Amino acid sequence: MHTARFTLDPAFTVGEVNPRLFGSFVEHLGRCVYTGIFEPDHPTADDKGLRRDVLDLVRELGVTAVRYPGGNFVSGYKWEDSVGPAEDRPRRLDLAWHSTETNRFGLSEYIDFLRKIGPQAEPMMAINLGTRGVAEALELQEYANHTEGTALSDLRVSHGDKDPFGIRLWCLGNEMDGPWQTGHKTAEEYGRVAAETARAMRQLDPGVELVACGSSSQSMPTFAQWEATVLEETYDLVDYISLHAYYWPEDGDVDSFLASAVDMESFIDNVVATADHVGARLKSKKRINLSFDEWNVWYLPEWEARAKTFEQDDWPEAPRLLEDNYSVTDAVVFGSLLIALLRHADRVTVACLAQLVNVIAPIMTEPGGPAWRQTTFFPFAQASRYGRGQVLDVRVDSPTYETKKYGETDLLHATAVRAEDGTVTVFAVNRSRTDALPLDVALNGLDLTRVVEHSVLADADPDARNTLDDPERVAPHPGDGTALRDGTLSAVLEPLSWNVIRLA
C-alpha cells in the first residue's frame, strides 16, 4: 500500500466553521421525545420531566442548533396543541409515523430542554407548510418571539413563559418535494407558499433566518430543478436552502457504503452550483448558504418494510421506530460524512444530525433504565469539540479502491481544522477494510511541534456495536507510533478506521 499524503498550509483555507454545523434534530417520532429526552417517571428526571442522564450525554456530544418538531411530523403539527397546561392538551393522530401524539411535551418543554443543554444550544423551529400556511406561521412566531402586549404573546406569558423564546432560525416546512409528505407540493406551489410565508415572517421580524426546503436527497427525480424553481421564487427572502441525505449499504455493497461521502460532497457541490446559478440569473450579490439539516446513516429499507406492517387501527404512543443500532463500520461512514461537511464549511453553515435520541441516534435509552452512547456518538463528539476554527484546504494524494457506485475512490478521506490558538486537528478515515494506510502530512508554515493525541475508532470486528447489555463494547483507543518530525506528521491508519490526530 503506498503512503497517502497531503500538505497543510495556513495560507490555504476553506473557511471558518460555523458552530451550527454541529446541530442535531429532535422529532416527535418513535421514542426520540417520549422516553428519550422526556420521561417524567424516570429516576433521573428533573422537575420538568427531562432525563438528566440524557442531558449529560447531549452536552458531552456537543450539539448546537436543535431542529424541532419534525421532520415529516411537522406537516401535521398544530403548534397550539403543544402549549398551555399539559393536562388540557389534545391527543392527535400523527399521520407521518402512524402514532398517537399526546402533546405532553411541547414548545415550552423544547425551549426548556435547550436552555438546560447550555448556551451553545439554539432553537431551529420548523413550521408546517404541508397542511397549514402563512397565518399559522405568523401566529407561532408571535407566540414564541413577541415580548408581550398582544393576544398571543400574552398567552405565552400566561402559560408561564415570561421571556420570549427568541427563535431566530426557522425551516419553511419539511421535505415538500417528497410524495410521502402530508401536503406534498410541486416546486412552483411550494416556492410560492414559502415566499409568501417568508415575506410575512420578515414583516414581523426582519432579523429571522429562513431555510427553504431543498430536495430530500440527490436521487429525487426533481433534484436541482426543484432547488432552481424554489430559489427563483424565494432568493431575496431566505438565507438557506436545505439538503437531506441518508446512507446505508444498498444491496449489501459495503465498499460503496464506505464511500457515501462522495455522494454527499457532490450533492453539496451541485446545490451550491444551482443556488449560485439562480443568483447569477437574478444579478444578485447575495449568496444562499446550505443547511444540511438531516444527515446520517439510516437502514431505510428496514423502516420501509416495517411501515408496510402497520395495522390500520393501531396508533401507538411512542412506539419503537427507527432504532438503528450502529456498528463500527457505520461509525466510520458517519465520520466520513462529518469530514464532508467540514470540507464544505464555507457554504454549509448549518447541519443537523438526524436524530438525537433513540431514533437513528447517537444516544440510546431504555424506559426506566440507562442511557448509552452508540458508536456514532464518538466521531460527532470529537468533531464538535475539536472541529472549531478555520478548515484548511486538504487535497489528498491517496491510494484508491474500486466501488460499484462511485468508481475509483480514494482510500483516505480527510480534513483538518486550525483552532484560534494555532493547534490543528486532522480528521481522517481509512476506507480499506483489509489494510492499514500509512499517512504523511507536510506541515507548512504551521508552528506545530508535537502530537497531543491520536484517537482511533476501529475494531477487529467491524460489526461490533454498543447495546443495552454491553453499552461500552466500542470506544476510541489511542493510535500507535504517530509522530511529528521535521515538519511532517506520520501515522498509520488502521483498516476501517476513524482517526482524530491533534497537533500543538
The residues binding ligand AHR (CB under 6 A) are: 27, 70-72, 174-175, 216, 294, 354-355
Residues 491/501, Cβ–Cβ less than 8 Å: yes
Backbone angles phi, psi at 288, to 5 degrees: -90, 130
Quick one: 30 or 335, whose CB is closer to ligand AHR? Answer: 30
CB of 436 to ligand AHR, least distance (A): 35
CB of 125 to ligand AHR, least distance (A): 15
Peptide bond into 69 cis (omega under 30): yes
CA-to-CA distance for 318 and 341, rounded, in angstroms?
31
CB of 303 to ligand AHR, least distance (A): 8
Amino acid, single-letter form, for residue 492? V
CB of 194 to ligand AHR, least distance (A): 16
CA-to-CA distance for 156 and 162, rounded, in angstroms?
7
CB of 246 to ligand AHR, least distance (A): 7
CB of 16 to ligand AHR, least distance (A): 28
Q: Which residue is nearest to ligand AHR (CB)?
A: 71
Quick one: 72 or 415, whose CB is closer to ligand AHR? Answer: 72
Residues 371/54, Cβ–Cβ less than 8 Å: yes
Count of Cβ atoms closer than 10 Å to residue 450 Cβ: 9
Least Cα distance to 68 among 15, 109, 18 occurs for 109
Quick one: 221 or 478, whose CB is closer to ligand AHR? Answer: 221
CB of 292 to ligand AHR, least distance (A): 13
Rg over CA atoms, the chain? 23
Quick one: 80 or 293, whose CB is closer to ligand AHR? Answer: 293
Cell numbers at 465, concatenated: 456495536
Helix segments in 259-317, DSSP class H: 260-281, 300-307
> Which residues face 418 on adjacent strands?
390, 424
Backbone angles phi, psi at 25, to 5 degrees: -155, 125
CB of 353 to ligand AHR, least distance (A): 10
> Which residues face 25 on adjacent strands?
67, 354
CA–CA distances in Å: residue 122 to residues 167, 290, 486: 8, 17, 43
Quick one: 265 or 294, whose CB is closer to ligand AHR? Answer: 294
CA-to-CA distance for 211 and 238, rounded, in angstroms?
6
Q: Is 431 helix (H, G, I), strand (E, B) or coil?
A: coil
CA-to-CA distance for 69 and 325, rounded, in angstroms?
23
Q: Is 211 helix (H, G, I), strand (E, B) or coil?
A: strand
Q: Pairing mode, if any, of strands 122-127 and 169-172? A: parallel
Quick one: 74 or 414, whose CB is closer to ligand AHR? Answer: 74
* Catalytic annotation, pick one of 142, 175, 196, 233: 175
| Active-site annotation holds for 39 | no
CA-to-CA distance for 294 and 272, rounded, in angstroms?
17
Quick one: 174 or 329, whose CB is closer to ligand AHR? Answer: 174
Quick one: 72 or 291, whose CB is closer to ligand AHR? Answer: 72
* Catalytic annotation, pick one of 27, 136, 294, 494: 294
Cell numbers at 326, concatenated: 450502529
CA–CA distances in Å: residue 196 to residues 45, 160, 203: 42, 32, 11
Cell numbers at 142, concatenated: 408571535
| Active-site annotation holds for 453 | no
Catalytic residues: 175, 294
